[in-house]
Amino acid sequence: MEKTKVLVVDDHAIVRMGIVALLNAQPNLEVVGEAKNGELGVKAANKLRPDVVVMDILMPVMDGVEATRQIVASRPGAKVLVLTTSTTASELAAALEAGATGVIPKTTGNAALLAAVRSVAAGRRVVTSEIEEIIASDEPAPNLTQHQLDMLASIVRGLTNADIALQFGISENTVRKATSTIFAKLGVANRTEATAMALRKGLVKL
SS3 48: helix
Q: Which amino acid is at 179?
A: T
**Other beta carbons within 10 Å of 129:** 10
pTM tops 0.75, yes or no: no
| Predicted local distance difference test score (pLDDT) of residue 26 | 94
Residue 103, beta-bridge partner list: 82, 127
For domain 4-136, the CATH architecture is: 3-Layer(aba) Sandwich (3.40)
Q: How far is CA 31 from the centre of its chain?
A: 19
At 57-73, the pLDDT tens digits run 889 899 999 999 999 99
| Predicted local distance difference test score (pLDDT) of residue 141 | 63
Residue 6, beta-bridge partner list: 31, 52
What letter would DSSP give residue 107?
A: T
CATH topology of domain 146-200: Arc Repressor Mutant, subunit A (1.10.10)
**Cβ-contact 51, 79 below 8 angstroms:** yes
Every domain of the chain and the residues it spans: 4-136, 146-200
**Cβ-contact 49, 75 below 8 angstroms:** yes
Distance CA 54, CA 186 (A): 29
Confidence check: pLDDT of 87 > 80 = no
Question: Average pLDDT, stretch 24-42?
Answer: 95
**Other beta carbons within 10 Å of 43:** 14
